[in-house]
Amino acid sequence: MELLIPNIGFGTTSTDQERYGQVATAVNVAIDMGYRYFETSKMYGNEIEIGLAFAKKMEEKVVKRNDLIIANKFWCTYDDSTIIENSCRQSLEKLKLNYFDIFFLHIPSRCIFKGEEQLFPLYSEPSNEMRDIDYVKAWKTLEHLVEIGLTRTIGVANCTENQLQRVLNEATTPPKIVYIECCPGLHQKKLITYCKRQNILVSAYCPLNRPDFQAFAESYNNHIGILEICQKYKKTSSQLILRYLYQLGTIPIPKSITPSRMGQYINIFDFELTDKEMNLIDSFYIDERSIDLEQGLNQQFPLKRKKIPISSKCKF
Ligand SMILES: NC(=O)c1ccc[n+]([C@@H]2O[C@H](COP(=O)([O-])OP(=O)(O)OC[C@H]3O[C@@H](n4cnc5c(N)ncnc54)[C@H](OP(=O)(O)O)[C@@H]3O)[C@@H](O)[C@H]2O)c1
């Protein structure tokens, strides 16, 4: 059966300020509001609570398992096929699921596995931490996970066009979807065009540029042209961004624990931005990442990262 992915997703990271249970409550509310595509990860440290939220909504018969599209990913230190498979099985168990709809290669570069307690490679010793292991080998393990029914499809996150092409060259099961940071400041149009040509969907994470990036939020939210478009369509500036990303051809995955914002984010399909309005939002492009991927910089992971001129950097 073909996997149909909704046009908008819901992210489940927990911020440092959020209390235990807040994201799970948001997931419950999100399902009630109509969200059906959820991105989860062991790295977010909240799979158990999110699993309880999915179970609750299934028990209440608000949704059945096959109404939901649930994605998960495995971490870049998991280089061995057994460790990757175990990671998938453990995440399924915590989330109280039998299968994922999408399982992602989180970063196409490999780091030394030092146990569950040290998942982040040390910047101070990059040469000790990065492994000269081809991530395409990990892709073969993902293909195996599809064969044994642990996931319906597989995808690559945080990749470049070259990295994706290498996977495509070797793949028996090609990636169904890629998952990349994508927002007006980093619209990734070239990669999106490439993915469309390859028949690969694109999901956009950090779509709102994490509004704690004051420099973006201040200039964007107060821009006279943006304010005029908001007024014209009776939408918020965040809705304009999500609509922009949708019109670029991506599936945005915003995250929120605030019901009023959650309600806005799913309500972006009743208006259309003109080319001129799209161009205005394009003009906020600065080609900067908010997610620090420096640890993935090696020969097989040639992502460029420019200096971020603002103080608050997101943790990976
Ligand atoms: N694959 C990867 O490597 C990767 C990396 C990073 C993230 N992700 C995924 O992408 C999802 C979305 O990314 P994200 O959570 O980083 O960012 P985002 O969706 O761009 O921004 C969401 C954050 O901004 C806050 N926010 C939004 N509007 C605001 C406003 N007007 N004032 C104050 N705060 C506001 C939200 O707070 P409220 O909760 O209060 O609304 C929330 O904490 C994540 O949850 C995760 O699932 C994936």
Is the C-beta atom of 152 inside 6 A of ligand 1?
Answer: no
User: Is 240 inside any structural domain?
Assistant: no
Closest protein CA for atom 14 of ligand 1: 206
Could you give the CA distance from residue 208 to residue 182 in angstroms, rounded to a whole number?
Answer: 9
Instruction: Count the Cβ atoms, other than its own, within 10 Å of residue 303.
Output: 17
Give a yes or no: residue 265 inside a domain.
no
Q: List residues with catalytic annotation.
A: 44
Contact 158 CB / ligand 1 (< 6 Å): yes
The answer to whether 316 touches 120, Cβ cutoff 8 Å, is yes
Centre of ligand 1 from the C-alpha of residue 279, in Å: 24
In a domain, 129, yes or no: yes
Q: How far apart are CA 312 and CA 316, in angstroms?
A: 13
165 found inside a domain: yes
First to last CA, the chain: 34
**15: CA distance to ligand 1 center in Å?**
9
Residue bearing the CA closest to ligand 1, atom 4:
205
What pTM does this model have? 0.91
Q: Is residue 234, in this structure, part of any structural domain at all?
A: no
Question: What's the structural domain count of the chain?
Answer: 1
The answer to the question of residue 179 being in a domain is: yes
User: Looking at ligand 1, which residue's alpha carbon is closest to its atom 21?
Assistant: 210
Kindly give the confidence (pLDDT) of every residue in the chain, 316 residues in length, as a single tens digit, with 9 standing for 90 and above: 788 999 999 999 988 888 889 999 999 999 999 999 999 998 899 999 999 999 999 999 999 999 999 999 988 676 678 888 999 999 999 999 999 999 999 887 656 566 666 666 544 455 545 555 678 888 999 999 999 999 999 999 988 888 899 899 999 999 999 999 999 999 999 999 999 999 999 999 999 987 556 777 888 999 999 999 999 999 999 999 999 999 999 999 999 999 999 999 999 999 999 999 999 999 999 887 777 665 554 445 444 444 434 333 333 3
- CATH classification of the domain holding 73: 3.20.20.100
Backbone angles phi, psi at 12, to 5 degrees: -130, 25
Task: Give bridge partners of residue 136 from the DSSP assignment.
Answer: none
CB distance 102 to ligand 1 below 6 Å? no
CA distance 243 to 277: 11
Mutate which of 186, 205, 245 for ligand 1? The one with the most ligand atoms within 8 Å of its CB, which is 205
C-beta of 13 in contact with ligand 1 (< 6 A):
yes
Domain ranges, residue 57: 10-208+250-255+285-296
Centre of ligand 1 from the C-alpha of residue 134, in Å: 31
Q: How far apart are CA 86 and CA 144, in angstroms?
A: 13
- 265 near 237, Cβ under 8 Å? no
Q: Is residue 314 part of a domain?
A: no
Is the shortest distance between the CB of 160 and ligand 1 below 6 Å? no
> What is the β-pairing status of strands 69-74 and 37-39?
parallel
Nearest CA to ligand 1 atom 32: 211
Question: Per DSSP, what are the bridge partners of residue 285?
Answer: none
CB 16 within 8 A of CB 8: no
| Binding site listing | 106
Is residue 1 situated within a structural domain? no
CB-based contact 251:203 (threshold 8 Å): yes
